[in-house]
Copies of this chain bind each other. A is one copy, B any other.
Amino acid sequence: MAMDNYEDFEDRARTLHGLGDVKELLHWDQQVMMPEKGIKARSMQNSKIAKIYHQKITSDVLSNLFQELDLNEFDLDERANIREVRREHDRASKVPEELQEKLSKKQSTAVNRWEEAREQDDFSLVEDELKEIVELKRRYAKSIDSDKEPYRVLFEDYEPYISYERMEKILDRLKQSLTKIVDKIGDADDIDQNVFEGEFPEEKQMSISREIVGQMGYDWSRGRLDVSEHPFTLGNQFDCRITTRFDEENLAESLGATIHECGHALYELGLPQDLYGLPAGSSRDLSIHESQSRMWENHVFKSKSFLKYLLPELRDTFTDQFEGVNVEDAYRSLNRVDSDNLIRINADEITYHLHIVVRFELERALINGELEVGELPSAWNDKYEEYLGVRPDSDSEGVLQDIHWYQGSIGYFPTYSLGSVLSAQFYSKADEEIDNLEEKIASGELQSLRDWLKENIHQKGCLYRTEELVENVTGEKPTADFFLDYIERKFGDLYNIES
């Protein structure tokens, strides 16, 4: 009886997963392949699939099954499957359908409004929409748990298994430490040279991008690389696709983006194949995912070791540009800190987290009712001045630069910083366990690192809660120690400063 119920549950879990995959494919197609006017039909298809998903995840049959299933009777992976789907079911069932529909509609009109506002550099055009989104999101948080701090509820949508207090502590530590480092770098000599600026034709960038992800072990029989406006990764262990974009005057951007996305893809492609369609065979949440992409982007790509391997390849493809350039030049170019930069996605490894802290503090205050949407632009600018020492002149370079809030993604930003923190924590462990990791990377041998990640992280799917996973792998709960050590070492050396 228990097994019949469990089989029924698994079938339903696979249906949900299949629908999720389909949603993703519709999105990939829309960004990469769909003809321009297809959007009208696609919107209808998206909303029908979303509605079916919602009906299935909130179904009474599922509620009844969960009451019947006794966790003690099951294995680790079965328990994980039940835990993950049950959590989603419980939360989704608490949100009134009317509220869910309002949110979906408002999010899509707000995104259109935001595009217009950003183009016209005028926050007031989207202010009312954002007010409504904040209001709806507060109601949403309340419907899930009216006793909890609303922002915490939203954060737990994205990170169910990282403690909220721990996240707050980590972000606060990043703020304290990194503002000091930024100050010191401000007093140090600038790095002026950038060997990654020049002329880089798209085809050549595509060809070297393909070569690098091949070297990283990206499996072309289970993936593809295309171009889209914003780079992204979607898929599963049998079909995980990445996109990138090219700036013909800046090579580092496309290489960084491609390697970042490939890091995400290696995670999906490293999941256990026999558990496809179930949580035990699915990737853990955003922070862990981001830890994989950032490990390859920051700890590998932006390292001296990797540049020893990469530079000869770059010289083969872009001979004039890289003739006479040495590893030190390339390393310094890739790791310049630009304190005047106002845009999150262009930020270096240090200031990036101050961009995040600004957003985290503001969104928390908004949702918890401590800040009005109308006050947002000036609050934003004040914080930039305080933490980064720069003040935006315009809304489009300020509060309008990211899509997240306007599409209802509030509580999401902290996961970016957690991703960096975890990537340093994991990398430190990998470095301990893999013999001569740096030398391997310098010779282009990336398989050892990939295999280590696959064995320790990818193959675990959602077997463990996030903090358990981190502790199993590194022996510690998530902590900013490793990241701050890494930053102090790397940038202390680059800028000749002491911590």
Residues of A participating in the B interface, judged by any CB pair closer than 8 Å:
14-15, 18-19, 21-22, 25-26, 29, 33-42, 44-45, 47-49, 51-52, 219-224, 236-239, 241, 273, 276-277
29 contacting pairs across A/B (C-beta < 8 A): A14-B48, A15-B51, A15-B52, A18-B49, A19-B48, A21-B41, A21-B45, A22-B26, A22-B45, A22-B49, A25-B26, A33-B33, A33-B224, A35-B239, A35-B241, A36-B222, A37-B219, A37-B239, A38-B222, A38-B238, A38-B239, A40-B238, A40-B273, A41-B236, A41-B237, A41-B277, A42-B239, A44-B277, A52-B52
Does A45 contact B29, Cβ atoms closer than 8 Å?
no
**Contact check: which of B34, B41, B48, B238 meets A276 at CB < 8 Å?**
B41
Q: How many copies of this chain?
A: 2
Interface residue from B47, B219, B224, B276 paired with A40 (Cβ < 8 Å): B276
Known contacts A19-B52, A35-B224; 20 additional CB pairs below 8 A are A15-B52, A18-B45, A18-B47, A25-B45, A29-B29, A33-B33, A33-B224, A35-B221, A35-B241, A36-B221, A37-B219, A37-B222, A38-B222, A38-B238, A39-B238, A41-B236, A41-B276, A42-B238, A44-B276, A52-B52
CA distance A239 to B35 in the complex (A): 7
Most buried by B among A48, A236, A239: A239
A145 to chain B, nearest CB (A): 31
Q: Please indicate the chain B residues that have their CB under 8 angstroms from the CB of A36 in the complex.
A: 221-222
Q: How far, in angstroms, from A339 to B49 measured CA to CA in the complex?
A: 50
User: Are A238 and B33 neighbours in the complex by a CB distance under 8 Å?
Assistant: no
Taking a contact as CB atoms under 8 Å apart, the answer to whether A35 and B277 are in contact is no
Shortest Cβ distance from A18 into B: residue: B48
* A21 partner residues in chain B, CB cutoff 8 A: 41, 45
Return chain B residues, CB-CB under 8 Å to A52. Answer: 15, 19, 52
Question: Are B18 and A44 closer than 8 Å at their CB atoms?
Answer: yes
CB distance from A91 to the nearest CB of B (A): 22
- How many angstroms from the CA of A237 to the CA of B277 in the assembled complex? 33
CB distance from A28 to the nearest CB of B (A): 9
Give chain B residues whose Cβ lies under 8 Å from the Cβ of A47.
18
A220 contacts which chain B residues (CB < 8 A)?
35
CB distance from A274 to the nearest CB of B (A): 10
Measured between beta carbons, the chain B residues less than 8 angstroms from A35 are 220-224, 239, 241
Rounded to whole angstroms, the CA-CA distance of A273 and B40 in the bound complex is 10
Please, how many angstroms separate the alpha-carbon atoms of A191 and B47 in the complex? 56
Tell me if A15 and B48 are in contact (CB < 8 A). yes
Cα–Cα distance between A220 and B26 once the two chains are bound (Å): 19
Contacts of A22 in B (CB 8 A): 22, 26, 45, 49
Which residues of the partner chain B approach A44 to less than 8 Å between Cβ atoms?
14, 18, 276-277
Question: With a CB–CB cut-off of 8 A, which chain B residues contact A241?
Answer: 35
A49→B45 CA distance, assembly (Å): 13
Bound: A44/B19 CA distance, A: 10
A35 CB → nearest B CB, Å: 5
- Residues from chain B with a CB closer than 8 A to the CB of A14 are 44, 48
Chain B residue at smallest Cβ distance from A16: B48
Which chain B positions have C-beta within 8 A of A49?
18, 22
Which B residue's beta carbon lies closest to that of A40?
Answer: B238
In the assembled complex, the CB of A210 is this many whole angstroms from the nearest CB of chain B, namely 14
Chain B nearest Cβ from A202, distance in angstroms: 18
Bound state CA distance, A237 and B48, in angstroms?
18
Expressed in whole angstroms, the Cα–Cα distance for A33 and B29 within the complex equals: 10
Query: What residues on B are CB-neighbors of A33 within 8 Å?
Result: 33, 224
A25 partner, pick from B29, B51, B223, beta carbons under 8 A:
B29
Q: How far is the CA of A301 from the CA of B28 in the complex (A)?
A: 36
Give every chain B residue within 8 A of A26 (Cβ-Cβ). 22, 25
Taking the closest CB of chain B, its distance from the CB of A463, in whole angstroms, is 20
* Complex CA–CA separation, A470 to B222 (angstroms): 47
A37 and B219 alpha carbons, distance in the complex (Å): 10
- What's the least CB distance linking A34 to chain B, in Å? 6
Sorted nearest first, the 9 A-B pairs with minimum C-beta distance are A38-B239, A18-B48, A41-B238, A18-B45, A36-B221, A37-B222, A40-B238, A37-B221, A15-B48
Which residues of chain B are within 8 angstroms of A48 by Cβ–Cβ distance?
Answer: 14-15, 18-19
CB of A27, distance to nearest CB on chain B (Å): 12
Task: Identify the interface centre among A19, A33, A41, A51: most chain B CB within 10 Å of its CB.
Answer: A41
Most buried by B among A26, A29, A34, A238: A238
A146, B41: Cα distance in complex, Å: 39
